[in-house]
Structure 1
Amino acid sequence: MLTVNHFLQLAPFKTFKLVAGANGLENDITGVNILDNPNASDWLSAGELLITSGYFFSENTEIQKRFIQRFKEINCSAICIKPHIYLKGIPQSMRDLANELALPIIEIPYGIAFSKIMNIVMGEISGRMNERNQASLAIHSQFFEISLHGGGMKKIAASLAKMVQNPIVLIDSDWSVIACNDNKHPLIQETIKKIGNTFTFPIEIFTDLPINFERIKKPITRPFFFAEKEYPCVIVPVYFDTVHYGFILVVQIERPLIDFDYIALENGSMAFALEQIRLFEIERTENRIRRDFFDHLLSGQIKDLDALATYDTPIDPTLNYTVLILSLQKSGIQTDSLMKKKQAEDRIMKSLLSSLTSYTANRFPHLHLFSRKNQLVLLLGTDPKSSAFKTHNELSDTAERIRMYLEQQGPAEREFFCTIGSTLPILELAQSFEEAKKVIQLLENDSKEEKIYFFDDVYFDSFLVDSISKEQGKKFYTHYLDMLLTYDLENKTNFTLTLKAYLAHHLNIATTSRALFIHRNTLLYRIKKIKMLLPVVLDQEKNTFALQLALRLYDLHH
């Protein structure tokens, strides 16, 4: 392996001068890079010999110190600086910090071309590549054995931690912790947050991560504070075939990473991705099997109990069942790309299905679930001898507990709402499923301030939609409300909403004004204007019902 000491002894570099960091002369050089861009430090790799004119840190002592610190965090082998152009000399503050960090600083004589240094160093390194290739092959074999025998994420984390001799944390693309190996240092207890049944790594501790930095597809290094000390943390994005599966985090508590450690991380990231693919495929297959059975059941294809018995399912035919559909209302995903949003939502639903299956297993023994797009479909079994009131309360309680659990598994802005069909014998469950879907359809344009909706609560609306065509409905509400709607539109008033509230409170001025938070006289003025805009006498009972129906049809079609 080419070391900094060997580099300085090469004939072309005899005139190079070591000015600081003599304790780092045995650092291995695994590559060479020219750096004259302050934003390019994330593209550096461990073991690289850096060549620079010092242009981007020539005028500021604090910037000089910050970059020296960053180069050490990355574990660069040495820094070769050509002064006299932008730096009149290598500042003492830089030398002092380099001595403290054992990071060699080498002064390049004036007139030596950067390209010459690169060519000679790369020529020396190429002669030492066989050792590196042998190490890479051995590491690859270890991870291949883990993948072949289904060792899982814990085994991958343990093997990586042993190879790099530092704590390892494996994290998915949403920064949920998959596995952690930190036997000597309790990172999981000190740093990782628990949200519901999920452990999440606090990404906010890395204050200067580039936007979408995972697209760089290479390790970057950031400071990590643990036990009141700062340690370099290497963050490795895990990709396979353009799909981002997560990150490997290495906190360099025991020792800095060397070139062979990055070989281990590269092979470990491949094992990570393949294990994720394997787990996703198993889960997808299991969910497809469940979904196929439930599709047959919920479409009415299973006609009798003998046919039901042919399926290997824990469904209890002696119970009544109810379909609950939990729909993802707000995902908390921040992206303008529809494709990326769908991919992220698919990952969310897979993760939620897995965690919800574990959560409900012992708490709700007669509950069965599967996923469909951005929905979770649940079948809840209840005692057919229970009263309607008791069954309703059990359904409400179960739906709310599950809804809250799902929302606690992610960011605060993630929201679900639940629709619930009728409770029926198992062979009639297709009706319950259609009812739960119908509620979703009726709520399409609703703000969904409530989070749980029973089909019975919207039965009247369902009847209207099924019985009155869109054309007939529009003709009906136009007959009663056309002048009022036009007046609101042209004058930017809200008389239609006032009429709805007035009818809902049975034409009571006092309760309507309180509900609308307006003065009684204001309401009287509005009612007077509304009466002038309606084609019927507002106070007659047959007309109040017709107006309520017109308002409901208007809402259903807008």
Structure 2
Amino acid sequence: MITVEESLSLSELSSVTVRSGQGGLSRRVSWTHVMGGNKIAHFLEGGELLLTSGKGWPNNPVLEEDLLQSLLNHQVSGIIFATGHYLMDCPPAAIDFGDNHSIPILEMPFDVPFVKVTKAINQLIMNKQFRKNELMNSISPDLTEDLKSSGNYKETCRILASYFNSPVILTTSDQKILTQAIPDDNHSKFNPLLLIKNWSDKLDHSISQDNSSKQATQIIYFTNPEFQSGVAVLLYIGTDVWGILWLPNFEKDGEQAKEFKILEYTSSVLTDLYLKQKEIAAKLKLTQFEVLELLFEKSEIASSIVEGKLNNLGLKRSKQWITGIVITDLNRQSSDAQKLSSIREKCQSWLNDSEGIDGFCQIYQQQLVLIISSDLDILQLKDNLKKMHMYLKQTTSLTLLFGGIKTECHSLNQSYDDAKSLSSIVRTLYSEGGAYFSDELRREILLYQGITPEQANELRRAILPNEFFSQRGEILYDTLKSLVINDFNREKTAEALHIHRNTLRYRIEKIEELLQCRLTSSRCQFWVQVALDLGALTS
């Protein structure tokens, strides 16, 4: 198979533009298929790159959503829209679909013949398969079978290390070690990090010299002090290097052509494993999306289905369940998809590494949603979720909103509603990011949820006399705000305002005269706090 990105390198697709779903360009293309109606899913097996002129594309939003959902269920590799006749642009719902599910949405001019596109892509698929079969037939059947059935990076590297009698290291393109293997009879010590560091400069130079290469494998020779010679094998998807295979003890001999074929075949095996991991991640994302949809949109049937899907995601029955929402900017209602995706990865990384907490973070309706399960007690769980916020804010400013903690997973929709009710309150009353819990802000929710700016202004003016909103009363209003911020501590307030205590005492007397209550009274303090909160809600 090839990837969507590889297909875009074909000259026949030079006019194609990626409109959304860039995160899915590494999806494998099993074949191309021309869409001829909204029942296309019936003819799909999965992995197809679809082409449509837009004729027959549903105008009804419900039918359009059903069509896109069916394509998602079959995990198509992408959709190419030929625009300029039946459709002037890619449908907005398809654009959102691509970004939400990392399925590339592509656009090309209507006058590009479909037959040229399908023929070029399908020919590339067949050529790659033919080359793979050719490599399999040219090397040992036993070695071929071992590599083909290895199943993971570590086992593949172990087989290669044993065959070449050389340590084998697999790294990412930026040289982070994924796995390594040493021959069973090799007891010499070597430092893989040092070896990679010594070779990296030459390797980077070689990549930059050959950055236009479209080959699946590139082999670079090295010399090193510990071994006579070695090679680095660059692993490509299209023109991008996704990984590097390092063999520091690779001897040049008369079998070099055969050995290169082994390395090329191994590269294809490792690349297939890499792409398979991507596909597994895509299916995992789909299951997560289905869970969120069941909980938040189909709660009436969720109780009988959702627990099984959560089990499939590795979330077992727990004592505590909680839903969270990630707000990336308190001053904006939404964030761009790329930023959300980056934060989602950091959230998931923290959840994967944390002890006592399981869960996932996924983009849902253009916001990040957290589903958390834990057997920790409530205080420990909250403490850990605050640590999550501390971890995330090292790289970006954000706010975490958590709903009520539930004892049953099918009640997570109630926790989600609690978290949503926090959103407007936190955006209005708190200027700094943090981790907020609905049970700790229950009074604020009951007081302010649903209140309009007009209602907020009316109630604020019923609490505070008009004099506070005049030019002459501005100093008194600012003094009142400072008193609230400093918990009505007069010494701290005078210091914060840079005024003498006698000046503050005079202002307080004027404020109490206007309010007709003493600021030492808890009742008076309560209504002053409410009035100031309402001030934020009026804008």
Listed as ranges, the gaps of 5+ residues in structure 1 are 1-132, 193-200, 331-336, 383-390, 488-492
Contact 1:297/1:430 (<8 A) preserved: yes
Write the distance in 2 (CA, Å) between the matches of 1:220 and 1:464. 68
Q: Does 2:156 correspond to 1:156?
A: yes
Contact 1:419/1:436 (<8 A) preserved: yes
Q: Who is 1:431 aligned against?
A: 414
Q: Who is 2:361 aligned against?
A: 371
Residue 266 to residue 513, structure 1, CA distance change in 2 (3 Å): farther
Residue 169 to residue 263, structure 1, CA distance change in 2 (3 Å): same
Contact 1:248/1:269 (<8 A) preserved: no
Give secondary structure in 2 for the equivalent of 1:463: helix
Q: CA deviation at 1:377?
A: 1.6
Q: Who is 1:466 aligned against?
A: 449
Q: Who is 2:234 aligned against?
A: 236
Q: Does 2:236 correspond to 1:246?
A: no
Aligned residues: 379
Contact 2:164/2:250 (<8 A) preserved: no
Contact 2:166/2:249 (<8 A) preserved: yes
Q: Who is 1:322 aligned against?
A: 321
Q: Who is 2:374 aligned against?
A: 380
Write the distance in 1 (CA, Å) between the matches of 2:229 and 2:224. 6
Q: CA deviation at 1:378?
A: 0.7
Q: CA deviation at 1:439?
A: 3.5
Q: Who is 1:216 aligned against?
A: 211
Contact 1:147/1:274 (<8 A) preserved: no
Whichever residue aligns with residue 275 of structure 1, its letter is L
Residue 234 to residue 339, structure 1, CA distance change in 2 (3 Å): farther
Give secondary structure in 2 for the equivalent of 1:549: helix
Deviation per CA, 1:218-271: give whole Å up to 9, x if none: 5697999987x999874725325x7x5732142645557977766655544443
Deviation per CA, 1:82-132: give whole Å up to 9, x if none: xxxxxxxxxxxxxxxxxxxxxxxxxxxxxxxxxxxxxxxxxxxxxxxxxxx
Whichever residue aligns with residue 503 of structure 1, its letter is V
Whichever residue aligns with residue 243 of structure 2, its letter is F
Whichever residue aligns with residue 369 of structure 1, its letter is G
Write the distance in 2 (CA, Å) between the matches of 1:154 and 1:340. 31
Write the distance in 1 (CA, Å) between the matches of 2:142 and 2:465. 75
Whichever residue aligns with residue 548 of structure 1, its letter is Q
Q: CA deviation at 1:455?
A: 1.2
Write the distance in 2 (CA, Å) between the matches of 1:444 and 1:226. 60
Give secondary structure in 1 for the equivalent of 2:441: helix
Q: CA deviation at 1:468?
A: 0.7
Percent of aligned positions with the same letter in both sequences?
A: 15
Q: Who is 2:21 aligned against?
A: none
Residue 347 to residue 324, structure 1, CA distance change in 2 (3 Å): closer
Q: Who is 1:18 aligned against?
A: none
Give secondary structure in 2 for the equivalent of 1:423: coil
Whichever residue aligns with residue 455 of structure 1, its letter is S
Q: CA deviation at 1:416?
A: 7.5
Contact 1:322/1:421 (<8 A) preserved: no
Q: Who is 1:413 aligned against?
A: 395
Whichever residue aligns with residue 399 of structure 1, its letter is L
Residue 315 to residue 520, structure 1, CA distance change in 2 (3 Å): same
Deviation per CA, 1:174-226: give whole Å up to 9, x if none: 7543222345565677559xxxxxxxx9899759958x969936569799998
Contact 2:469/2:477 (<8 A) preserved: yes
Write the distance in 2 (CA, Å) between the matches of 1:419 and 1:220. 50
Write the distance in 2 (CA, Å) between the matches of 1:483 and 1:160. 83
Write the distance in 2 (CA, Å) between the matches of 1:327 and 1:204. 41
Contact 1:287/1:371 (<8 A) preserved: no
Write the distance in 2 (CA, Å) between the matches of 1:484 and 1:509. 20
Write the distance in 1 (CA, Å) between the matches of 2:423 and 2:171. 35
Moved more, 155-164 or 499-508: 155-164
Residue 263 to residue 341, structure 1, CA distance change in 2 (3 Å): farther
Q: Does 2:257 correspond to 1:275?
A: no
Contact 1:206/1:224 (<8 A) preserved: no
Contact 2:453/2:538 (<8 A) preserved: yes
Write the distance in 1 (CA, Å) between the matches of 2:506 and 2:199. 58
Write the distance in 2 (CA, Å) between the matches of 1:220 and 1:527. 81
Q: Does 2:533 correspond to 1:552?
A: yes
Residue 274 to residue 181, structure 1, CA distance change in 2 (3 Å): same
Residue 262 to residue 439, structure 1, CA distance change in 2 (3 Å): farther
Write the distance in 1 (CA, Å) between the matches of 2:384 and 2:436. 13
Write the distance in 2 (CA, Å) between the matches of 1:259 and 1:534. 93
Residue 424 to residue 269, structure 1, CA distance change in 2 (3 Å): same
Write the distance in 2 (CA, Å) between the matches of 1:501 and 1:206. 58
TM-score, length of structure 1 as denominator length: 0.49
Contact 1:481/1:534 (<8 A) preserved: no
Counterpart of 2:485 (choices 491, 500, 504) is 504
Whichever residue aligns with residue 242 of structure 2, its letter is G
Q: Who is 1:71 aligned against?
A: none
Deviation per CA, 1:384-442: give whole Å up to 9, x if none: xxxxxxx43232244356667x76xxx96368865432233425432222223444554
Give secondary structure in 1 for the equivalent of 2:276: helix
Matches within 5 A, 1:113-512: 138=138, 145=145, 149=149, 151-161=151-161, 166-172=166-172, 176-183=176-183, 216=211, 234=232, 236=234, 238-240=236-238, 246-250=242-246, 252-255=248-251, 266-289=264-287, 291-293=289-291, 295-297=293-295, 301-302=299-300, 313=311, 321-325=320-324, 327=326, 352=349, 356-357=351-352, 359=353, 364=356, 368-373=358-363, 374-381=368-375, 391-400=377-386, 413=395, 418-426=400-408, 427-439=410-422, 442-444=425-427, 448=432, 450=434, 452-473=435-456, 499-512=480-493
Give secondary structure in 2 for the equivalent of 1:467: coil
Write the distance in 2 (CA, Å) between the matches of 1:203 and 1:377. 44
Contact 2:168/2:181 (<8 A) preserved: yes
Write the distance in 2 (CA, Å) between the matches of 1:170 and 1:158. 11
Contact 1:224/1:251 (<8 A) preserved: no
Residue 179 to residue 306, structure 1, CA distance change in 2 (3 Å): closer
Write the distance in 1 (CA, Å) between the matches of 2:402 and 2:412. 12
Q: CA deviation at 1:513?
A: 4.5
Whichever residue aligns with residue 370 of structure 1, its letter is F
TM-score, length of structure 2 as denominator length: 0.50
Give secondary structure in 1 for the equivalent of 2:403: strand
Whichever residue aligns with residue 458 of structure 1, its letter is L
Whichever residue aligns with residue 405 of structure 2, its letter is T
Whichever residue aligns with residue 287 of structure 2, its letter is I
Contact 2:232/2:247 (<8 A) preserved: yes
Q: CA deviation at 1:311?
A: 7.2
Write the distance in 1 (CA, Å) between the matches of 2:135 and 2:419. 58
Whichever residue aligns with residue 509 of structure 1, its letter is R
Residue 259 to residue 481, structure 1, CA distance change in 2 (3 Å): farther
Write the distance in 2 (CA, Å) between the matches of 1:208 and 1:249. 12
Give secondary structure in 2 for the equivalent of 1:274: helix
